[in-house]
Amino acid sequence: MNQSTSTVINTILTVALRNLLAHRRRTFLTIGAIAVGLASLIFLWGFNEGLHRNMLGNFQDAIIGSIQIHHQGFFQHPELSKAIANPQKVVEALRQADVSRYSMRLESFGLAASDITTQGVMLIGMDPLREGEVTQLGKRIGIGRFLAPEDEYTLILGATTANNLQVKLGDEVIIIGYDRFGAMLAESFTLIGIITSGEMGLDKGMAITTLATLQEMVDMTDRITTVVISSEEKRVPSLTAELEAALQGDELEVMPWYSMFPVMKEWVTLHNGFLYLFLGVVLFIVLAGELNTMLISMLERTREFGVLMAIGTTGYQIAGILLVEAVVIGIVGILSGILLGYVIVLFSSNYGIDLSILLGSTSRFYVDPLIYPHLKLDHLGITSGVILIASIFAGLYPAWRASMLQPVEAIRNG
Amino acid sequence: MGNNQDSSIIYLRGLHKCYWVGTMPFPALHGLDLDIAPGEFAVVAGRSGSGKSTLLNIVGALESADSGRVEVLGQDILGMNSEQRTRFRLHNIGFVFQAYNLIRVFTARENVAYVCQLQGKSRKESMEIANHWLHEVEIGHLGYRRPDQLSGGQQQRVAVARALASNPKLILADEPTANLDSMTGRHLIRLMHELNHRFGTTFLISSHDPDVKQAAGRLIKLADGQIVESWEEVPEPPQSLSASCPANHLPLGERVRNYIKTRKQSRARKRRGGNQRRS
């Protein structure tokens, strides 16, 4: 850019900025509207993200973890014959992928029987020590206690199952199952804990004992069917791919949580879709508000633009003045909105937003009543970028109209 | 380009312009021919609606003619597109408007410097040029003020300085004194006249102000879009009683006697001018 071009650009910028300052009230009202719109969007994104994190975190922490590894086809048809052939190879792959939080399980179907009735259950044998690194199941024991390593033939049931069986802590529960060859087995267990999470999937249909007990019962010592891994949410896709590559050819399936329970992912996508809809509404308001401001500004200054054109300002330069004004309003509005939104999210993420007054039982949806908003940079970027584009669009029409003015008409009628 | 054009800064032939309001035509210029030589201080006079402003707008490349030939500084204005006209105005023509039309958000100095900056001159150089011209129009000390802090006369001086700052060959002034009181108007005209003499800039001024007509080196009278009279020289003394009173402290009787005296002189000069043209 040569000096004369930069001088002209500086002059155009000066005219635009001076004009914005000359109409401070209007300028700041428009900036304020953009800032409030953006801040509310940022807060909503933050709240939404906090809600999702809370829900998905709870969902994964409850029992399924972030990723599970099984024998091919086990997730769809859980049978003991589909045990992982070489657990050591899986452990090695996890070590190489720098995964330390994992747990082994043996899973099968069975029947839980009391003196009164029977109930179909998913039998899960889990390592009491390692499980705590992967899930938070222990914290959902409302009555009694979680499994201990030294436990033998102790059992944890969900509240609904226990209620159906009409058993209480210390009562005997008979578990009827099958070994890997299909032969029927039965063992007596002592109920030591009842899960009272409020989550339907946990409270009903689950019977949990130690891994060693279940292995002994079904005569599968040192055999497992499931490896449960806990990972940071953003690492889940890459870790899945990494483990898939490492375990290729071993007839294993590496399944992230969203492949096992796609409905949860779809729910999050749908929820985000609502926010995009809201983003659209706010964008429309911002666009309409700024377009209004720019049009008023343009119409008010028709005469001035006519004079500027008469003394040698080109149509492009006139359009440039209005576009600069629109972009400056947009940028200042966006920066103010980011600041305001960030402060609101920061404040609310420290103290949390308590939804217990609004919602009777959120635990049914794996949601804690206290939500901690969390701001994601990509949401911030998308929202700010879209509002900036809206600001430019708001300036385009008045800029185009101003550039098409005829000097004489503008001076005469302005 | 013919010989006529070579010696003229403005060369107009067969200029027609008609405005339309719905289906109603309003002819503004009707086959107008005009030549203005470099350095002239020409005044276009005529009643409202006679076509004065239209003529200036067309010469100033602000408006198109329906037909005819318009050459300004040897350039065919009508053949230019909008962008070329704007560039042409920026580098060759200065404008002074009736309503001053300064940029509200700029100081007087910035208003004058604006055109220089548009021409690509640095801000520093533009400000120096602005200072120079503000001093030339005798308001150098008011450069820091914004238009709303200046009187009408001061604002029009800023407008004159702005018109001169781009170093144009031609200045077009459309009713420059119409919004000023007579005393201020006369000062402004005297100033423009002086600038015309000192710098040789051609002035084409539209006005029906007698003081302006009186100062003209050439008076072009328009009626119904045609030139009805054109004098190379008009009497210098003022034509109106109010304008004849530079020294308002004189007793009324003496002011009236002065006025009658100057009217007589004016008529005599006008007659001499008419005889010369006929001969």
pLDDT confidence tier of residue B248, bands split at 50, 70 and 90: very low
End-of-domain residue from the set A183, A215, A230: A230
Residues A33 and A131 in one domain: no
Residues A120 and A153 in one domain: yes
- Is residue A238 included in any domain, yes or no? no
pLDDT at B94 over 90: yes
Least-confidence region, from A8-12, A373-377, B230-234: B230-234
Q: What is the pLDDT of residue B190?
A: 87
What's the domain count of chain A?
Answer: 2
B103 chain-A contacts, CB cut-off 8 A? 15, 304, 307-308
Residues A402 and A278 in one domain: yes
- Convert the pLDDT of each residue in A125-179 to its tens digit: 999 988 888 888 888 888 999 999 999 999 999 989 999 999 999 999 999 988 8
Cβ-based neighbours of A21, under 8 Å, separated by 6 or more? A27, B105
Measured between alpha carbons, how far is B139 from B152 in angstroms, rounded to an integer?
Answer: 13
pLDDT confidence tier of residue A77, bands split at 50, 70 and 90: confident
**Is A312 close to B119, i.e. CB distance below 8 A?**
yes
Report the percent of chain B where pLDDT is more than 90.
Answer: 43
Least-confidence region, from A83-92, A245-254, B211-220: B211-220
- Convert the pLDDT of each residue in B29-46 to its tens digit: 988 999 999 999 999 998
- Is residue A139 included in any domain, yes or no? yes
Compare A197 and A108 and report the one with higher pLDDT.
A108
pLDDT confidence tier of residue B274, bands split at 50, 70 and 90: low
Chain A interface test: which of B48, B55, B62 (most A C-beta within 10 Å): B62
Residues A82 and A21 in one domain: no
Nearest CA in chain A to B114: A11
A-B contacts (CB, under 8 Å): 78
Measured between alpha carbons, how far is B111 from B158 in angstroms, rounded to an integer?
Answer: 8
Chain A interface test: which of B81, B118, B122, B123 (most A C-beta within 10 Å): B118
End-of-domain residue from the set A205, A230, A255: A230
Least-confidence region, from A254-258, A288-292, B232-236: B232-236
Residues A286 and A176 in one domain: no
- Is residue A239 included in any domain, yes or no? no
Residues A269 and A206 in one domain: no
A22 chain-B contacts, CB cut-off 8 A? 104-105
Domains, in order of start, for chain B: 37-65+83-234 (3.40.50.300), 239-279 (no CATH)
End-of-domain residue from the set A215, A230, A245: A230
- Is residue A346 included in any domain, yes or no? yes
Residues A168 and A150 in one domain: yes
pLDDT at B279 over 70: no
- Is residue A258 included in any domain, yes or no? no
pLDDT at A40 over 70: yes
Pairing mode of beta strands B218-223, A67-71: unpaired
Measured between alpha carbons, how far is A122 from A225 in angstroms, rounded to an integer?
Answer: 13
Chain B interface test: which of A10, A301, A311, A406 (most B C-beta within 10 Å): A311
Residues A74 and A19 in one domain: no
> Under a CB-based contact definition with an 8 Å cutoff, are residues B218 and B55 in contact?
no
**Is B89 close to A15, i.e. CB distance below 8 A?**
no
Q: What is the pLDDT of residue B60?
A: 94
Residues A52 and A124 in one domain: no
Its domain, for residue A378, covers: 3-60+264-413
- What ipTM was estimated for this complex? 0.79
pLDDT confidence tier of residue B272, bands split at 50, 70 and 90: low
- Convert the pLDDT of each residue in B137-157 to its tens digit: 888 899 999 999 999 989 999
Q: What is the pLDDT of residue B249?
A: 44
A321 chain-B contacts, CB cut-off 8 A? none
- Is residue A252 included in any domain, yes or no? no
Q: What is the pLDDT of residue B241?
A: 41
Shortest Cα–Cα distance, A307 to chain B (Å): 7
Residues A368 and A383 in one domain: yes
- Is residue A310 included in any domain, yes or no? yes
**Is B120 close to A8, i.e. CB distance below 8 A?**
yes
Residues A276 and A403 in one domain: yes
Pick from B42, B8, B37: nearest CA to B218: B42
Residues A214 and A300 in one domain: no
- For residue A63, give the DSSP letter: I
- Is residue A256 included in any domain, yes or no? no
